[in-house]
Amino acid sequence: MRGLMMDTPLLISSILRHADLHFPDREIVSVTADNPQHRYTYAECFRRTRQLANALDKLGLSQGDRVATLAWNDYRHLECYYAIGGSGYVCHTINPRLFPEQIAFIINHAEDKWIFTDPMFVPLLEKISEHTPQVEGYVVMTDDKTMPETSLKNAVSYESLISGERSDYMWPEFDENVAVALCYTSGTTGDPKGVLYSHRSTILHAYAGVAPDVLNLSNRDCVLPVVPLFHVNAWGIPYSALMVGAKIVFPGPKMGDGEALFHMLEDEDVTLALGVPTVWLALLQYADKAGKRMHKLQRTVIGGAAVPESMIREFGEKHGVVVCQGWGMTEMSPLGTANTPKAGMESMPRDELYALQTKAGRGIFGCELRIVDDEGQELPWDGVAYGALQVRGAWICSDYFKLEGSAESHTDDGWFDTGDVATIDENGYMAITDRTKDVIKSGGEWISSIEIENTAIAHPAVQEAAVIGVAHPKWTERPLLIIIKAEGQDVSKEEMLAWFDGKIAKWWYPDDVVFVDEIPHTATGKIKKVELRKQFANYELPTG
Ligand code: ADP
């Protein structure tokens, strides 16, 4: 028997309509290229979004056409999200940190018709425009006064595009499984692959995100997403924050600027900030140097890479900020786990709690997790057995855009293989030990590069640490520790190796330590291990 409930489609335009009615006065604050502090209300945002939707409908697009953005986090980018997706087109967010050739590749692969760009990326687009001939026009996200001279085809300023448009718009209704947004993975191996989110997956993911044991997002919050709108929908914040009517602060191009972030947090009364470990390193370093304490921030969600215990402690003990580690992927919208305590854990000894917080967290409702061995057999949740981490759920990709059936990313029984290696403990807390391709295979056993890195980074003289496997005649591979020293600090190889005493298993100790000035990063700020492995391919480890 079927239930007798309304089959209301889950469309992102419904978030906008709800927020417009309930929270018209809530503020959105942005740093933009043409204004260091832009401030307006939800009501104003939605009025402009409707004007943009009217303008888009005049560009001759068909439903499902891709319209791209190449922009930092700010209010115009948010308007694009809703106007493009809400009116039935697909918002393709492009990561400006990719190499120009990769950007051209994904513009062509996505078959983008129009591109909305920040003024600072105009030269980049001009450089590749001869390779992207199918793009019909460009909208530069500024006004006519600050519109740069450009050779880009049909270039128009954002403000002039929307200025004459009506502020009412009838959001179309369609099937909730229609695509709303497209985001490419960074392509650390091979070409970038497109993940195509639907309205339905986006709404369900946003619902899951606001829950107390996930982002714990409410109307009383002020949110600072330092996670980019161009990468996995800023972890769903544009949808979840508007769903509850939280104030939003967008950092624009200031995402890596510790000082600027500190002032945004304090001046705007930010309660929740989200970002990858690297950006928080910059923030904590600034606060430490300037001798300042954060007074307003209550919690931070950190993910995208493993969070070192030293960072969790520093946030907690110096600034009174609770860290919630999360794990996810572009293919997962991205939320998969969140690390919040279970009942009874609040009274755990502090050191134990910190250790627990270094895990990626518990699977959130809507995202099933399992770990399997090489034969595909499920492994126990005992915190010791590790294997390939697989996931299943309504906001996890079922395939890649235009690679349907050929990506070999899913198991026969319909689970997505994440490419991560993990343990899951008795309480359901998952810990990533490595990416499948980064794990170090030593004498038939696996060594977790992440755990060695986290131990190394806790040393006060270490600014950044990376561990890779280097070929070894007897053990197949052994770990090599690569370090950038913290400014004004010194440490020797012997001191560094002695640091591991009692902290990790002896056979996991790195065989050697190299000090470098720079460690390569991917476009999403993660350590580029492929590059490091190439760089150190012929490295000879000391014998004996
Ligand atoms: P890419 O870096 O290829 O663009 P994503 O941004 O989707 O991909 O990153 C997903 C990957 O980031 C995960 O598969 C995992 O390896 C890593 N990751 C994300 N969160 C964490 C975490 N909390 N701990 C360790 N690794 C993480």
**Structural domain boundaries in the chain:** 13-252, 446-544
Which pLDDT tens digit goes with each residue over 157-174?
A: 999 999 999 999 999 999
Q: Structure tokens of 132? A: 């992207």
- In 3D space, the residue among 96, 90, 137 whose CA is nearest the CA of residue 115 turns out to be 137
Q: Whose CA is nearest to atom 10 of ligand 1?
A: 329
Q: How far is the CA of 435 from the centre of ligand 1 (A)?
A: 8
Residue 220: pLDDT band (50, 70, 90) is very high
Tokens 């969070």 correspond to 307
Q: So what's the pLDDT on residue 187?
A: 59
Ligand 1, atom 26: closest residue by C-alpha: 305
DSSP letter at 79 equals H
Query: 305 C-alpha to center of ligand 1: Å?
Result: 5
Q: How confident is the model at residue 33 (pLDDT cuts 50, 70, 90)?
A: confident
CATH of 446-544, one of 3.40.50.720, 3.10.20.90, 2.60.120.10, 3.30.300.30: 3.30.300.30
Residue written as tokens 């105009």? 122
Whether a cis peptide bond, with omega within 30° of 0, leads into 334 is yes
Is the distance from CB of 95 to CB of 186 less than 8 angstroms?
A: yes
For residue 426, how many other CB atoms are within 10 A of its CB? 9
pLDDT confidence tier of residue 285, bands split at 50, 70 and 90: very high
Per residue in 186-203, is it b (16+ CB within 10 Å) or e — as a string? Answer: bbbeeebbbbbbbbbbbb
What residues act catalytically? 185, 331, 441, 446
pLDDT tens-digit series, residues 378-435: 999 999 999 999 999 999 999 999 999 888 899 999 999 999 999 999 999 999 998 8
- For the segment 489-505, what is each residue's pLDDT rounded down to a tens digit? 999 999 999 999 988 88
358: exposed, middle or buried (Cβ count in 10 Å: 0-12, 13-18, 19+): buried
Which CATH number applies to 13-252: 3.90.1150.10, 3.40.50.12780, 3.30.390.50, 3.30.450.40? 3.40.50.12780
Q: Report the atom number in ligand 1 closest to the C-alpha of 329.
A: 7
How many other C-beta atoms lie within 10 A of the C-beta of residue 40?
14
CA of 304 to the centre of ligand 1 (A): 4
| Ligand 1 residue neighbourhood (C-beta within 6 Å) | 185-186, 188, 303-306, 325, 327, 329-330, 334, 360, 418-420, 432, 435, 522, 524, 526
For ligand 1, the distance from its centroid to the CA atom of residue 398, given in whole angstroms, is 18
Tokens (6 digits) for 149: 């001279």
- Report the 10 Å Cβ neighbour count for 412: 6
What pTM was computed for the model? Answer: 0.90
Tell me the one-letter amino acid at 299: R
Q: Mean pLDDT throughout 210-237?
A: 97
Q: Where are the alpha helices (DSSP H) in 479-520?
A: 493-498
